[in-house]
């Protein structure tokens, strides 16, 4: 059963949803106001969802998943301007399995969650971020430990952004 999250509860909901579902596998679908799929992000680890604000007003919702790019780890994979309604659907065991956001213009984002939070996805993400730093240095050898430690710091910073 799908339940609507009331607008005045969105901030608290985002924190709870993020901390409960961080590092679950996620697929994100974006549909325009004619229900055409215009974007699909598949099977990345979910990191979190936050409110985008303009002053004290809610301007949008931003969804983050674990991209392995060191420069974009704190960049949203999907941003949704002018959200109107937020719905959450749980499976028969009570686990969140779909978040649906509907915009004022009729566009929609679906965030589908699979499996349970998996700490191995944390290490997968650290590995991808460390490798992206190695790539940016032109594949220069000799700083693998430094890359790993910096990647761990960046991933931990990203994790905390959504749950603290």
Per-residue confidence (pLDDT) for residue 3, from 0 to 100? 95
Residue pair 28/78 in contact by the 8 Å Cβ criterion: yes
pTM listed for this prediction: 0.87
Whether the Cβ atoms of residue 137 and residue 143 lie closer than 8 Å to each other: yes
DSSP string, 59-95: EEEEEEE--S-TTTTTS-SEEEESEEEEEEEE-TTS-
Is the predicted pLDDT of residue 132 greater than 90, yes or no? yes
The reported pLDDT for the residue numbered 17 is 95
Give the model's pLDDT for residue 18.
94
Structural contact between residues 98 and 83, judged by C-beta atoms closer than 8 angstroms: no
Rg (CA), the chain: 17
Question: For 10-66, what is each residue's pLDDT tens digit?
Answer: 999 999 999 999 999 999 999 988 878 887 777 789 999 999 988 888 889 999 988
Give alpha helix (H) positions in the chain. 10-21, 119-136, 144-163
pLDDT at 62: 93
* Two tokens, residue 3: 């339940």
Can you tell me the distance from the alpha carbon of 54 to that of 19, in angstroms, rounded to the nearest whole number? 24
What phi and psi values does residue 90 have, to the nearest 5 degrees?
-110, 155
Residue 6 buriedness (CB in 10 A; 0-12 / 13-18 / 19+): exposed
For the stretch 65-102, pLDDT in tens is 888 888 888 889 888 888 999 999 998 888 899 999 99
């Amino acid at each position: 059963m799908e339940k609507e999250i009331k607008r005045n509860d969105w901030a608290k909901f985002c924190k709870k949803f993020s901390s409960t579902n961080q590092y679950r596998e996620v697929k994100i679908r974006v549909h325009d106001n004619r229900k055409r799929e215009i974007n699909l992000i598949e099977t990345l680890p979910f990191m979190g969802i936050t409110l985008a604000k303009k002053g004290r007003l809610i301007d949008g919702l931003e969804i983050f998943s674990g991209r392995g790019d060191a420069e974009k780890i704190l960049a949203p994979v999907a941003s949704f301007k002018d959200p109107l309604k937020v719905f959450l659907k749980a499976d028969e065991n009570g686990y969140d399995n779909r978040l649906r956001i509907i915009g004022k213009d009729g566009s929609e984002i679906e965030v589908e969650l699979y499996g349970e939070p998996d700490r191995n996805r944390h290490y997968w993400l650290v590995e991808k971020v460390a490798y992206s730093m190695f790539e940016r240095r032109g594949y220069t050898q000799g700083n693998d430990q430094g890359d790993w430690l910096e990647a761990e710091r960046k991933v931990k910073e990203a994790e905390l952004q959504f749950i603290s």
